[in-house]
């Protein structure tokens, strides 16, 4: 192997704008140059780490933060709906049904809340299955209507949701 000496090229090298260093005349011009250089710099965006989920013979990218949140919520046993808004809703419904009952035990309210959350969880799981059957990811109101119709539940209180 033969080493060759590098010889300087005969053409003068072109200097780019990044190589040249501007000499500021005053403080105001140096500030403007700094601001311009900050504007010109492109700050790279952070890449979101994804994991691949295979669903209905298709591969979807799911963000790791979403998967982390799902795992966290599945591991907890506490209630998802806050207690105070649920108790307000329950009292409002209770006042519409009967005016004689004004007090409810805390344990009864907690049992009602647990059963309501369980019902909603299974309702949305079944609606998600209907969405996957239609090869979609997003749950639509039509999926909820289909689930309620299959279950044979009364939908007269829900009202008509436009399709």
* Chain Cα centroid distance, residue 132: 19
Q: Is the pTM of this model over 0.85?
A: no
Q: Report if residue 118 sits inside a domain.
A: no
What pLDDT digit, counting tens, does each position of 96-119 carry?
Answer: 888 888 888 999 999 999 999 999
Q: Is the pLDDT higher at 35 or at 69?
A: 69
pLDDT of 163 above 50: no
- Binned at pLDDT 50, 70 and 90, residue 75 comes out as confident
* Domain annotation covers residue 145: no
The answer to whether residues 100 and 90 touch, using CB atoms and an 8 Å cutoff, is: no
Q: How far is CA 72 from CA 49, 75, 130, in A?
A: 18, 5, 25
Alpha helices in the chain (DSSP H): 27-40, 64-75, 83-97, 106-133, 141-151
Pairing relationship of beta strands 58-63 and 50-55 according to DSSP bridges:
antiparallel
Range of the domain at 67: 49-78
Number of domains in the chain: 1
> Is there a contact between 62 and 48 (Cβ–Cβ < 8 Å)?
no
Determine, yes or no, domain membership for 102.
Answer: no
pLDDT, tens digit, 9 for 90 and up, residues 112-148? 999 999 999 999 999 999 999 999 989 999 999 999 9
Q: Domain for residue 68, yes or no?
A: yes
């Amino acid at each position: 192997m033969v080493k060759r000496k590098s010889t300087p090229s005969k053409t003068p090298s072109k200097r780019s704008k990044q190589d040249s260093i501007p000499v500021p005349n005053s403080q105001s011009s140096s500030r403007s140059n700094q601001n311009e250089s900050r504007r010109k710099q492109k700050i790279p965006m952070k890449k979101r780490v994804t994991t691949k989920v295979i669903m209905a013979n298709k591969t979807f990218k799911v963000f790791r933060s979403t998967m982390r949140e799902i795992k966290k919520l599945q591991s907890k046993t506490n209630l998802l709906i806050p207690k105070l808004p649920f108790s307000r809703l329950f009292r409002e419904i209770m006042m519409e049904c009967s005016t004689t009952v004004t007090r409810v035990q805390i344990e009864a309210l907690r049992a009602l809340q647990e059963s309501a959350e369980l019902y909603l969880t299974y309702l949305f799981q079944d609606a998600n299955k209907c969405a996957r059957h239609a090869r979609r990811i997003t749950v639509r109101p039509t999926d909820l209507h289909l689930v309620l119709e299959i279950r044979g539940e009364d939908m007269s209180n829900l009202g008509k949701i436009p399709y």
